[in-house]
Amino acid sequence: MSQILLAKPVIKAEINKLKLKCQEYLDNGITPFLKVLLVGDHPASLIYTRNKKKFCEKIGAQCEILTLDSRTSEEDFMEVVEGLNADKSVHGFLIQLPLPKQLSHIDTTNLVNAYKDVDGFHSDNISKLYRGSTRENLLAPCTPKGIMTLLDFYNIEVEGKSAVVIGRSLIVGKPMALMLTNRNATVTLAHSKTKNLESLCQNADIIITACGSPKMFTQNYFKNDQSQVVIDVGISRQEDGSLSGDCDFENIKDSVKAITPVPGGVGPMTIFTVAQNLLHALDNYPED
Ligand code: NAD
């Protein structure tokens, strides 16, 4: 029988650790505080930011979404970012992407102070990952870090396995490949120019799809012998309004060993990890 790798049981099992840690801070008079900077009203961003706020509040932390007008100038935007970096009451801070057109040229990677960087995008944090840190409280990008939590929960062995990651973005694919490498998997990082993607996937133990091409991964990409683990990161809105992953879930779910659904798989793990990173940020928060 194939296993559906739902996020819900993982979060149910892990959330108490976050609540307890949060409570320790509250008992010491510190309220873990996440500030989310949202510019404009991009529909998906509104949902993501609301979910982040809701989850932080669920563990007892505080989260405020600071919404700026979609026409905000670069100067005003940068002033707000500087203010949030300097604000000692803010322990975690993230800039919700995408930014509107007039700000989209800004490289946001290093805008948030490394020690508040709950998204794990800052070069200092990425460099720790690059150097091979497997420290649990590393501020690492939330989606791949959440996937590692999910794999561990379901006792999916990574060491010695061959993994293919499809998609080489800075927020998912590349850090995912690093995390799997750090955990001793043998990793192939595939992308839009990769040749023979079907056979690469057919020969892997773990396949992580993160390219945003709905239902692209059909049975042709798999061994269909219930031996492979598939993690579907993609989220695309279909014409009928429903969400689809990169995998043709209905047609492959019975022929793989395990697979994450969309929605209900990787997405909630990303949100969970934002809250987890907020507490990790506080653990390493610099003293005055
Ligand atoms: P992106 O959109 O920045 O880049 C897509 C990547 O996929 C590129 O590296 C490209 O080379 C590769 N690619 C595109 N078409 C391909 C093809 N036909 N064959 C092989 N490779 C191909 O990537 P992203 O920001 O990592 O987003 C990827 C998907 O994951 C999107 O659907 C996004 O919505 C989703 N996503 C989900 C979560 C979550 O929490 N579940 C988080 C982030 C992104």
Q: 163-194, pLDDT tens digit by residue?
A: 999 999 999 999 999 999 999 999 999 999 99
Q: Which of 170, 172, 274 to mutate to test the pocket of ligand 1 (most atoms within 8 A of CB)?
A: 172
Residue 136 above 80 pLDDT? no
Residue 124 above 90 pLDDT? yes
Query: Is 77 within 8 Å of 271 (Cβ atoms)?
Result: no
Q: How far apart are CA 168 and CA 177, in angstroms?
A: 9
pLDDT for the residue 133: 84
pLDDT for the residue 227: 98
CA proximity to 231, closest of 155, 166, 286? 166
Q: For residue 92, how far is the Cα from the chain centroid?
A: 16
pLDDT for the residue 84: 98
pLDDT for the residue 280: 96
Query: Is 141 within 8 Å of 175 (Cβ atoms)?
Result: yes
With bands split at pLDDT 50, 70 and 90, how would you rate the model's confidence at 286? confident
Structure tokens at 276: 């987890």
**Ligand 1 binding pocket, CB closer than 6 Å:** 143, 166-169, 171-173, 190-192, 194, 197, 210-213, 233-236, 266-267, 270
Domains 26-120 and 141-268 share a fold: yes
Q: How far apart are CA 19 and CA 57, in angstroms?
A: 10
Of all atoms in ligand 1, which is nearest to the CA of residue 211? 7
Tell me, yes or no, if 96 is annotated catalytic. Answer: yes
The residue nearest atom 18 of ligand 1, judged by CA position, is 192
Q: How far apart are CA 35 and CA 196, in angstroms?
A: 43
pLDDT in tens, 61-70: 999 999 999 9
CA proximity to 250, closest of 235, 261, 264, 263? 261
Q: Please state the pTM of the whole predicted model.
A: 0.97
CA angle 215-220-225, nearest 5°? 110
pLDDT for the residue 1: 80
pLDDT in tens, 78-110: 999 999 999 999 999 999 999 999 999 999 999
Which whole number is the average pLDDT over 25-29?
97
**26-120 CATH fold:** Rossmann fold (3.40.50)
**Cα-based distances in Å from 169 to 15, 177, 233, 274:** 28, 10, 12, 18
Q: Which of 11, 42, 108, 192 to mutate to test the pocket of ligand 1 (most atoms within 8 A of CB)?
A: 192
Residue percentage of the chain with pLDDT more than 90: 94
pLDDT for the residue 245: 97
CA proximity to 65, closest of 86, 37, 98, 97? 37
Domain ranges in the chain? 26-120, 141-268
Which whole number is the average pLDDT over 264-274?
98
H or E segment to which residue 252 belongs: helix 249-252
Domain boundaries 141-268, corresponding CATH code: 3.40.50.720
At 223 the three-state DSSP class reads coil
Structure tokens at 185: 């998997």
Q: Is the model more confident about 119 or about 133?
A: 119
Q: How far apart are CA 129 and CA 135, in angstroms?
A: 9
The alpha carbon of 23 and the centre of ligand 1 are apart by a number of angstroms equal to 36
pLDDT for the residue 285: 83
Which whole number is the average pLDDT over 218-246?
96
Structure tokens at 127: 């460099």
